[in-house]
């Protein structure tokens, strides 16, 4: 039975399991399962094999129960197998090591036969060595043991970029509230809430330390009176109730989050609005983002007021050009800003996508804007404007700011901006931060080529650990009439990880942008300053071909280039510390944006 109803959450973290500490021999397992399910737990974590077993020639593996005692669907959906705790594959005692190896193979084979799902691990270093030995296999998942004392939040934060499936919460980790019931410390609560948000399932493990249930102590509550007809409360039910309370107390997912849930950690190729023509559906999605257009309207209103004083409003008409007008939302924002400020406006709407131009024509007609708006079907870089503009409005921004070639387009458009003209946006800056993102790494690896590791992706980052605060990468300001202006860029950045993070693995860099539209009006997705409730852009992700191990307290140094050729623009990136990586996407061989 799920922990509760939480709007929008369909993840596995709605379910809570319980660990069986004793070894249930023979037919015991179905009874334990029935008891736990009837006590509202959703599944069992149970030993697979008798812990006293050691391999002996000819011996039959003493498994917890024959595969026939439960149905295949019960095995696969209600039982999580646990390998024997005595297994020590690194033991210096050769016999123990050989026994361990053999038993591990037997237990995994048995678990596979039953279609079971997990194994347990202890710490990040342990886990990291194991996955390196297994070449980052996408079939490996982690179960974390949650004890009464917790490491620092920065150290725990690393796990959110790892494939954590389960959190085994020890009853010893619980405190006791004034009424004698189990509860968790604030730090445990925060951690658990984080797990619920990342589809991690909780398993309760240990002996009951709280005397609030009627049954005897012990996970199995195999008291003599217990039969299937007289269900007794499970000894760990109070812990389950507390989990359900924590889960139900969480805020429902906001509507936008619900809408975007299927995009979480889904790699998308960035749009190329210059080289390609966007489709109607894409424009429609843009146009729903009212926050973006409100910010533009505010910026345009401020620019209009600065351009035309109150004394001049009846005599001065501002020439405003929307370059890259799409289906017209920025034309609308401009006209609304003019109305709001009482300024007269003449608008040119310049758009190179002939299909969007058709829609623009219908919009102008429908709204009756013919006397104010002139539509130009042309690439802004080669349009011969009949007059110069006071204000140039554009939205050619990608998730990384300049990655949809706004700099190159606006260089062309500024030919028809007056020397004292205003560009909205007036500047934009990209940012990056190192991340652990094992899911993204594995998804890219599935392509089995280098090119996919040298490509930037647009992705709604969810299962990632952000290892250090974002830093600025490249900035562009408009207009830029300097004869020496260039759009090539190079920067090197050093990231210091918080001291208490411990070691970690970097799979790549998350990228964002922030744009100054005009004066104090900005718009962006950089996490510290992002525009609330704006959804037009997901972050960008620059992967690394090989994940890099970062020892505790070692800085990460990365170099980034923006390179420009006659027909394309591309990024190159390389890690220098703690260990060098190859230069990714050298000469734009794998990923580029067409001019």
Residue 12 is assigned to a ligand binding site? no
Q: Of 147, 156, 120, whose CA–CA distance to 206 is shortest?
A: 147
Taking CB under 6 A as the criterion, the residue among 111, 183, 243, 330 binding ligand SAM is 330
Tell the smallest beta-carbon distance from residue 567 to ligand SAM (Å). Answer: 14
Which stretch of DSSP H or E encloses residue 523? strand 521-524
Q: Provide the mask over 13-52, with x wherever binding to ligand SAM is found by CB under 6 A and - wherever it is not.
A: ----------------------------------------
Tell the smallest beta-carbon distance from residue 440 to ligand SAM (Å). Answer: 24
Taking CB under 6 A as the criterion, the residue among 37, 40, 104, 278 binding ligand SAM is 278
Question: Residue 270, interface with ligand SAM (CB under 6 A)?
Answer: no
- Beta strands of 450-519 (E only): which ranges? 457-458, 465-466, 471-477, 489-495, 504-518
Q: Go through 230-269 and write b for each residue having 16 or more CB atoms within 10 A of its CB, e for each that does not.
A: eebbbbbbbbbebbbebbeeeeebeeebeebeeebebbee
Q: Of 40, 49, 22, whose CA–CA distance to 221 is shortest?
A: 22
Question: Residue 325, interface with ligand SAM (CB under 6 A)?
Answer: yes
Per the residue annotation, which of 107, 162, 395, 526 is the catalytic one? 395
Contact set for ligand SAM, span 384-403 (CB under 6 A): 395-396
> Near ligand SAM by CB under 6 A, which window of 127-135, 205-213, 344-352, 416-424?
344-352
Bond from prior residue into 406 cis (ω within 30 degrees of 0): no
Q: Of 200, 129, 136, whose CA–CA distance to 443 is shortest?
A: 136
Taking CB under 6 A as the criterion, the residue among 49, 304, 356, 373 binding ligand SAM is 356
Question: Residue 409, interface with ligand SAM (CB under 6 A)?
Answer: yes
Token pair, residue 550, equals 């970062």
Long-range contacts for 217-224 (Cβ within 8 Å, ≥24 apart)? 218/22, 219/18, 219/19, 219/20, 219/21, 219/22, 220/20, 220/21, 220/22, 220/24, 220/28, 220/32, 220/35, 221/35, 222/28, 222/32
Position of minimal CB gap to ligand SAM: 324
C-beta separation of 46 from 12 below 8 A: no
Which stretch of DSSP H or E encloses residue 464? none
Taking CB under 6 A as the criterion, the residue among 182, 273, 407, 502 binding ligand SAM is 273
Question: Residue 86, interface with ligand SAM (CB under 6 A)?
Answer: no
Taking CB under 6 A as the criterion, the residue among 48, 111, 350, 464 binding ligand SAM is 350
Residue 57: count of CB within 10 angstroms of its CB: 4
Q: Which is nearer to ligand SAM, 70 or 275 (CB)?
A: 275
Q: How far apart are CA 120 and CA 112, in angstroms?
A: 16
C-beta separation of 37 from 78 below 8 A: yes
Q: Which is nearer to ligand SAM, 373 or 396 (CB)?
A: 396
Question: Residue 352, interface with ligand SAM (CB under 6 A)?
Answer: yes
Residue 293 is assigned to a ligand binding site? yes
Tell the smallest beta-carbon distance from residue 333 to ligand SAM (Å). Answer: 9
Q: Which is nearer to ligand SAM, 376 or 510 (CB)?
A: 376
Question: Residue 333, interface with ligand SAM (CB under 6 A)?
Answer: no
Q: Provide the mask over 520-549, with x wherever binding to ligand SAM is found by CB under 6 A and - wherever it is not.
A: ------------------------------
Per the residue annotation, which of 19, 404, 454, 572 is the catalytic one? 404
Q: Of 575, 569, 578, whose CA–CA distance to 488 is shortest?
A: 569
Told to judge if 395 belongs to the known catalytic residues of this protein, a careful annotator would answer yes
Quickly list DSSP for 135-173. Answer: TT-TT--EEEEE-SS---HHHHHGGGGS-EEEEEEEGGG
C-beta separation of 559 from 574 below 8 A: yes
Contact set for ligand SAM, span 121-140 (CB under 6 A): none
Token pair, residue 10, equals 């369909």
Q: Which is nearer to ligand SAM, 232 or 394 (CB)?
A: 394
> Near ligand SAM by CB under 6 A, which window of 25-33, 137-145, 182-190, 319-327?
319-327
> Near ligand SAM by CB under 6 A, which window of 68-76, 124-132, 375-383, 501-509?
375-383
Question: Residue 274, interface with ligand SAM (CB under 6 A)?
Answer: yes
Tell the smallest beta-carbon distance from residue 380 to ligand SAM (Å). Answer: 4
Q: Which residue has the tokens 């490491």?
A: 151
Taking CB under 6 A as the criterion, the residue among 54, 136, 226, 381 binding ligand SAM is 381
Residue 568 is assigned to a ligand binding site? no
Residue 344: count of CB within 10 angstroms of its CB: 15
- List Cα–Cα distances, 69 to 33, 44, 63, 552, in angstroms: 11, 15, 12, 48
Question: Residue 379, interface with ligand SAM (CB under 6 A)?
Answer: yes
Taking CB under 6 A as the criterion, the residue among 83, 380, 410, 424 binding ligand SAM is 380
Question: Residue 286, interface with ligand SAM (CB under 6 A)?
Answer: yes
Instruction: Assign 124 to helix, strand or coil.
Output: helix
Token pair, residue 168, equals 């085994």
> Near ligand SAM by CB under 6 A, which window of 30-38, 321-329, 507-515, 537-545?
321-329
Residues near ligand SAM (CB under 6 A): 273-274, 278, 283, 286-287, 324-326, 329-330, 350-353, 356, 379-381, 395-396, 409
Q: Which residues are identified as catalytic? A: 395, 404
Binding residues for S-adenosyl-L-methionine: 283, 292-293, 351, 379-380
Residues at the binding site are 283, 292-293, 351, 379-380
């Amino acid at each position: 039975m799920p922990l509760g109803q939480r709007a929008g959450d369909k993840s596995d973290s709605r379910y809570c399991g319980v660990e069986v500490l004793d070894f249930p021999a023979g037919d015991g397992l179905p009874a334990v399962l029935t008891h736990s399910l009837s006590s509202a737990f959703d599944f069992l974590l149970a030993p697979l094999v008798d812990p006293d077993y050691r391999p002996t020639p000819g011996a039959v593996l003493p498994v917890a129960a024959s595969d026939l005692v439960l149905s295949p669907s019960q095995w696969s959906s209600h039982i999580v197998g646990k390998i024997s705790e005595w297994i020590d594959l690194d033991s210096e005692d050769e016999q123990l090591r050989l026994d361990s190896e053999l038993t591990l193979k037997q237990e995994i084979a048995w678990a596979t036969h039953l279609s079971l799902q997990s194994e347990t691990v202890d710490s990040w270093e342990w886990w990291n060595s194991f996955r390196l030995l297994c070449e980052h296999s996408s079939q490996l998942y982690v179960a974390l043991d949650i004890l009464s004392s917790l490491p620092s939040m920065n150290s725990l934060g690393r796990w959110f970029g790892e494939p954590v499936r389960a959190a085994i919460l020890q009853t010893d980790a619980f405190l006791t509230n004034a009424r004698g019931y189990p509860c968790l410390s604030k730090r445990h609560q925060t951690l658990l809430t984080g797990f619920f948000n990342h589809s991690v399932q909780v398993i309760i493990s240990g002996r009951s330390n709280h005397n609030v249930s009627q049954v005897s102590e012990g996970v199995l509550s195999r008291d003599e009176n217990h039969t299937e007809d007289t269900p007794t409360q499970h000894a760990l039910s109070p812990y389950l109730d507390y989990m359900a309370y924590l889960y139900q107390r969480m805020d429902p997912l906001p509507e936008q989050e619900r809408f975007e849930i299927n995009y979480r950690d889904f790699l998308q190729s960035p749009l190329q609005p210059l080289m390609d023509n966007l489709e109607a559906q894409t424009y429609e999605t843009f146009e729903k983002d009212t926050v973006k257009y409100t910010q533009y309207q505010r910026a345009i209103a401020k620019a209009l007021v600065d351009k035309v004083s109150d004394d001049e409003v009846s005599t001065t008409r501002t020439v405003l050009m929307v370059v890259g007008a799409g289906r017209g939302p920025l034309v609308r924002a401009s006209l609304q800003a003019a109305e709001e400020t009482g300024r007269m406006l003449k608008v040119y709407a310049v758009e190179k996508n002939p299909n969007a131009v058709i829609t623009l024509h219908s919009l102008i007609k429908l709204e009756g804007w013919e006397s104010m708006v002139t539509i130009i079907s042309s690439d802004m870089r080669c349009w011969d404007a009949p007059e110069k503009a006071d204000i140039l409005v554009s939205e050619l921004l990608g998730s990384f700011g300049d990655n949809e070639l706004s700099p190159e387009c606006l260089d062309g458009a500024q030919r028809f901006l007056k020397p004292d003209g205003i560009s909205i946006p007036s500047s934009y800056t990209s940012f990056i931060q190192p991340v652990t993102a094992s899911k993204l790494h594995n998804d890219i690896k599935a392509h089995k080529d280098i090119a996919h590791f040298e490509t930037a992706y647009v992705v709604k980052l969810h299962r990632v650990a952000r290892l250090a605060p974002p830093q600025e990468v490249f900035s562009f300001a408009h207009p830029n009439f300097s004869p020496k202006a260039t759009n090539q860029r190079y920067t090197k950045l050093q990231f210091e990880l918080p001291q208490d993070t411990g070691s970690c693995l970097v799979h790549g860099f998350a990228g964002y942008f922030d744009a100054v539209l005009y004066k104090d009006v900005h718009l962006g997705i950089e996490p510290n300053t992002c525009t609330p409730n704006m959804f037009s852009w997901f972050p960008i992700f620059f992967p690394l071909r090989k994940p890099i191990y970062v020892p505790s307290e070692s800085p990460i140094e990365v170099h980034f280039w923006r390179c420009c050729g006659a027909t394309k623009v591309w990024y190159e990136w390389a890690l220098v510390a703690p260990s060098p990586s190859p230069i990714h996407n050298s000469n734009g061989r794998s990923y580029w944006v067409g001019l």
